[in-house]
Structures are given as structure tokens and as C-alpha cells.
Structure 1
Amino acid sequence: MKRTDYQPPIQMETLNLKSLERIQPIPKQEFIKRYYRTQQPVLIENLTDTWNGKWTFDHIRALAGEQTIPLYNNKPAEGKESVYEPVMKMRFGDYIDLLKAEPTDLRIFFYTLKDHCPQLLEEFEYPDIGLRFFKRLPALFFGGGLSKVFPHYDIDLPDNLHIHFEGTKRVVLFGPDQSKNLYKVPFSIHNIDKIDLDNPDFDRYPALKNVQGYEVYMKHGDALYMPSGWWHYITYLDGGFSMTLRALPRTPRRVAQMLYNVFVMRLVDNSMRKISGQRWLDFKERWAYRRTQRALQKPA
């Protein structure tokens, strides 16, 4: 009997994303010319092959498994809550076991090696790609198979080399020029947290139709160059961790913007949040929405 009740699957609209370029290691001067000076992101495969074999869950557990670590989840901070306040604490070894056993949205944010696990500083090589890395702040980030890192750019505007270990993660990147279409929140480094970039609501947020970005999937040992001011939205597809190496801003204009972000913008935002709580957050989101909608309606 011929079926007449079949309905084709609904095709959901998605963002305009291109696959990010993947390259093999190249000479330093070529990297500077093609990517650093042009501020173009790129994923470099096999850049860490000489040392990444030790960078595993089991090795981290052996070095730091007895530490107590703060954990965060996917829920945005509300009201007067601090974004730096963890949702819980756990023994590091138990957290690693959890990552290996089942999906979780619990993640570790900015685990600095110099402060917490200096042994690891002796177990990697700074890639010689032309970046002057700030050697005080190599930091690790851990996440489980349900972890997402909301879209944002780094407040201190570094050029980042983001190296992934264990598991797989998806990274979506947007250039600084895309802030106008992402509904960037004033006095912040993120967009409206109600926006779901995996299932964008183009009716509610029509400017998202104009967004252009890149998508890349990272596996163990991959190194992702993220230029200064680039937005990144990260999804852990299974348990894994990454290390970020940071290079300070390279131009006077970027340095000035970094100083403003760190010493003025953040101070204003934190102060208003302590005074007004959720009212300040709601006000900023309405401001972001109105500003983006007005820009969208201006003639080209």
C-alpha cells in the first residue's frame, strides 16, 4: 500500500558558517604574513606532535588528582551572582572520572598552570610561530559532553593559540566586525544569553541572518589560532580539555581598548551589577536588542 502520510523532515535554518582553513605547520615568517598580520584564524594540525602524548586525563590525574577544583555549568549567572562563583567543587580525580564516564555540563574555567600544576610547564614547548606568548598565563579549560561556552571574546584582547587534548570539540568563530549582528551586550564581552546559536531564532533576532563566521572541529593535539577580539562559541562533543597560550595585544589601539575593557568597562559593569542586580542585566539586554534592530533598519 502506498503511503500518503509521509512528511519530509523540517529543515532548520542555521547560521552562515564556513569551514575554517586547516594547515600543516609552516615557517614562522609565513605564518606571520598569512595569518598574524591579517588577523585571520586558522587551525594547525600536528603542531604539537613532539610533546602532546603526555597530555591526557590520566597524566593530569596523576599530577593533580587530589586537588579540589571549582566547577561551572552552562547556566548564565543571574542578578547579583558573580560569573566567577562556581556551582560546586569536586576532587580533580573524581571530576576526570566523571568526564570519562558520562556526558556532563560541568567544566573547569581558567586553571592556570603556574599556580596549580607547575609540573606541566615543563612538559610542553611554546610553538615558534611568531607570537610573543605571555608566559605567566598558560591556562587549561575542561568540559564534558554537554558543556557549552557562551559566545564571547576575551576581555584582554589577546591573540590566542588554543590547543585541544582528549575528545573532540566544536568551535565557532566570528570576527570583531560581526559584533553588530550578534546582539552584543553593552559593557560586556558577550551577546544576549537567550540566543541559541545552534538553533537561531531569525524571527526574534533577524540580524543573525547577516552573521558570517567559521566552524572547526578539534581533536587531540590540534592548535587553533584565534586573533585578537575574535568571538568564540565552544561546544564539547565529549569529555576533553584544552590549553590556551595568550599573546598580548600588538597595536597601541588594541592596548588602549584592552585597558579600557579591564579597568573601566569591567568596573562599571561589576558595580552596576552589585547595585541593581537583574535589573541591570535586563536593561543591557534591551539596550543590545534595540541598538542592533535600529542598525538593521538603516539603509545600506
Structure 2
Amino acid sequence: MRSYLDFEKPIAELESKVEELREVAARDGGVSITDEVAKLEQKADQALKDLYSGLTPWQKTLVARHPARPHTLDYIAKLIEDFTPLAGDRVFGEDEAIVGGFGRFRGQSICIMGHERGDTTETRIRHNFGMARPEGYRKAVRLMETAERFDIPVVSLVDTAGAYPGIGAEERGQAEAIARSTDRSLSLGVPNIAVIIGEGGSGGAIAIAAANRVMMLEHSIYSVISPEGAASILWRDTAKAQDAATNMKITAQDLLRFGVIDQIVNEPVGGAHRDPDAAILRVGDALAQGLQQLAGQSPDDIRKLRRDKFLAIGRSV
């Protein structure tokens, strides 16, 4: 059963009516209401298109957090062949908030990693809702170093509210692990591409998103802090989260304009959660194009391109 966000209630009502008419048509074979169903479906489709063409930043935040959006493991399952996961940081232990390994993407060897939120209560707890601990970022460093050793490009899928803020994580060097992962992303001699597939929050996101090319799904968000966190700091009131989301410029459209990201990947009408397979395919096409554009570059050229990209952010001509 499809779940609707609060602002989608008009769509929910229309689609509910469509389902009711279909049931009537199926039950009463003699009653022909095909035309009525078609008209109502068309009206619902148009209403959905109109709604999603003008989402506010806060509404985009809600869409980015939708539990039915495809997660990292969904992308790996659909896009990567012969995937071999790597586990552990060889220092403390395994952190399943970040998953990663090696496989083949459309015939090319690739290293892929990303935050995994989980899609059931059990898996969300196991993956800690995508909030990584230090060992998760140290595992990411291990993956990147292995990829560089074998001249394999790196793809990062970002979907986290932020790094885990627990006492144990801080005791084991959370800030240092994030800094080392960010530094390793920036210093790689192989191409790396990051895709914000849902929520890109704080240092927990940038730790694996400091890439040659940064892409965002159309209704994803990317920010230094969550709207709720910003509202609690600025106004001491989390109810101001909608105002914070608007003023922080966290949408893909704003960030492309500022040069923070390089490309927006369009989602199916109604968001990636309505048609996960189509969304994953679009990301795959964008990745293939991005990797092709970066192919054949020397390690020094790759580092220079990445350095120039980040130094150019915020500079006016």
C-alpha cells in the first residue's frame, strides 16, 4: 500500500477514487466506466505533476526522507554485477551504516559505497539509520585506498542525516575519521563521483562526497545541518524548520546554481519512491556519462580537476 506525505493528500484522494472505480468496474462487469476511470487517472497524473513541479524546500526535505525511496543496497542490486562487499575497518570493527565493495558497472570495474538506512525496523536498527560511526568512515578510506591501488573509479551514494553523535563514536574519534575520509576523497588519483540520493547531512555526507563530480537527485537535499537542527540553534524552536529549510538553500536547484553540485538527475514524476526502478536507471545513466567524461585522465589531472572544482565554489567571476 502506497504511503502519502501530508502535502500529497489531494493526490491520495484522487487515486483512492480511481481505485474505487476500478473495483466497481471489476465487480460489475456490465457497467462500463472505462472513460470515467481514464479521465480521473489523467486528472490525478496532472495534479501530481503540478504538485511536484513546485515543491517548497521543506516539502523536498520530506520527499528526500521518504522511507520508500531506493537506498544504496537497492542501487547496488540493480546496477552492479558480481558485487563483493568489504567489511570492517581493521581497527575496531564493522559499521553497517556504510556499505561498500567492488563489482562491475556496465562492464567496468568499480568501487561503490554509500550510506544504507534500511527499509524495515530490523534493518534500520542494524544499519543505524544510515548514521555512520568512525569505523564506517575508516572502512570508506580502506575502500578508496584499495580502489586507487588497482586504478578503479569510486562511486559514493550519499543518504544520511549526519554522522552518529553518540558518546562511543566520539570516544573513538568521529571527527578525525570524518576528516581523514574527506581528505582521502579529495586526494584520490582515480575518478570519483558522488550522488546525493536522499538526504546529505553535514560532515557525515561530505566525508564520502568530496568528488570530481557531485550529482543530486531532483528532490534530494544537501546541507551542513538539518533544518530542524538549524532551527533549534537559530530560533531555539524546531517548529521553525520550514523557515530554516527555505533560507539554507538546501535543494538541488539552489546548489546547482551556486556551483556546489555539478548535475541534477531528474526523478520520475512524484519522486523516486513512486518508481524506484526508473530512478535507479536514471542514476545509472548519469554515472555512466560522468565516468566516461573522466576516463583517460592521469592521476595528477584527476586531482587538479577536483581541486579546481572545490576552490571555485563561492567565487565570483
Answer 1 or 2: which has greater strand percent. Answer: 1
Structure with greater helix share of residues: 2
